Amino acid sequence: MPLYLYNTLKRSKERFHPVDEEHIKMYVCGPTVYNYVHIGNARPVVVFDTLYRVLNQLFPKVTYARNITDIDDKIMNTAAETGRSIEDITGEYTQAYAEDMAQLCALEPDVVPKATEHLPEMIEMTQTLIEKGHAYESEGHVLFAVESMDDYGKLSNRKLEDMMAGARVEVASYKRYAGDFVLWKPSADHEPGWDSPWGRGRPGWHLECSAMIKKHLGRTIDIHGGGKDLVFPHHENEIAQSQCCHDGDEYVRYWMHNGYLSIDGEKMSKSLGNFKTVRELLQSYHGEVLRFALLSGHYRSDIDFSKELLDQSKAALDSMYAALRKVSDVDVDDVVVSIADEEGFAALCDDLNTPMAISSLHKIAGDLNKAEGDDVALAKARLLALADMLGLLNEDADVWFQGGEVEGLSGDQIEALIQERNDAKKAKNFARADEIRGELTDAGIVLEDSREGTKWRRA
């Protein structure tokens, strides 16, 4: 099945033609680890994790890299404010990030490079850019000379004269041109730094990704992803560094960018007090609910991330898990499903149309509810196969409805009360049976009676 992706560089949807059909290479910008990540940081993780799953279905080998930025002024500021070491801060929040993304059912990338482990590669790239006339040293800094690149600004569709027209910011004394950006900067004695030909210092942010991509994936990769806030200047500057370092070789074939998140209709920001971390949200919602909400809109569209959206996502997953719960005894291990024939998978191959794929999931769940005989196993297998492409329906249905650490009655206590209620009904003590149902309802437990017995779920 052909794959179509929207290419930010070309501003159009294109059929995917990889550099090498046998080995797809994808890189996605990861977090700066100085605090818990917010839900906006999680959107590219979920989006490109879904694409990773699709690529693995279509191609024999995929290498997916997502970096960790552990050199940054924000990290240094956090260290100064808290009195903790930089290593302590980055270690804690790198681990927290991995834990939180796992809760969102994201697969581990094949490569997770850290900036601090790639200083030699960054220094080497900087030296090469100087030698080729694309960078210069000034007052302990090394800067990329944007005027040395004829098509600088092509990703963001900006021209140099437009970028600088009307600019009122004071230009740093060490810059030849106001638009030049830092490749290397000096570090004060109290700041982290590494020895270099230009003195003790640290790399600019843009340089990190270019160096790590070259080392782990090569000069040219198939897909580079991230939020659309990274188009300029970060990704624009990555192109400049890498292409000028490599004599104009293609750096990235397909640039992909996801849209923004707003919170209850307002742009998410700390100043507005609507800044939601993934860890905070996981205290109230299962990770699959957060993932479903992030996939409910097309990745290139902005999403209003609200309680209403989360509750709708929870209800949608409940309905699918309810369909699976009814057929929990049906084994599908030997059922063969052709995912390529599914409308939902075709939607994912059309620029990752997750809303359409989710609609297809609902339809299959409806088919499962109505299926009889041999059709039950096939419908269940189809539902699970498509859900796997979306990273959904990973839980056992009973665990989904009953599990988790919650306040109130434990599972054993609930089962005991259900047994007491059954005994009361057999003894025709219907008053006690109704009383037990009432107690469970007050505790947030919903009973579902059927010919097969009584099942329960937390409301």
H or E segment and range at residue 91: helix 86-103
% of the chain at pLDDT higher than 90: 80
Residue 57: pLDDT over 50: yes
Q: What confidence score (pLDDT) does residue 248 get?
A: 94
Residue 324: pLDDT over 70: yes
Strand 221-227 to 24-28 pairing: parallel
User: Quick one: tokens of 406?
Assistant: 């919650």
Name which residue leads in pLDDT, 446 or 400: 400
What CA–CA distance (Å, rounded) separates 160 from 403?
57
Q: What confidence score (pLDDT) does residue 452 get?
A: 67
Residue 142: pLDDT over 90: yes
What CA–CA distance (Å, rounded) separates 120 from 131?
17
Residue 405: pLDDT over 50: no
In this predicted model, what pLDDT tens digit does every residue of 101-127 receive, in sequence order? 999 999 999 999 999 999 999 999 999
Q: What confidence score (pLDDT) does residue 284 get?
A: 92
Residue 111 Cα distances to 39, 56, 248, 321, angstroms: 23, 15, 26, 33
User: Quick one: tokens of 123?
Assistant: 């220094």
What CA–CA distance (Å, rounded) separates 309 from 304?
8
pLDDT band at 448 (very low <50, low <70, confident <90, very high): confident
Task: State the chain's mean pLDDT as an integer.
Answer: 93
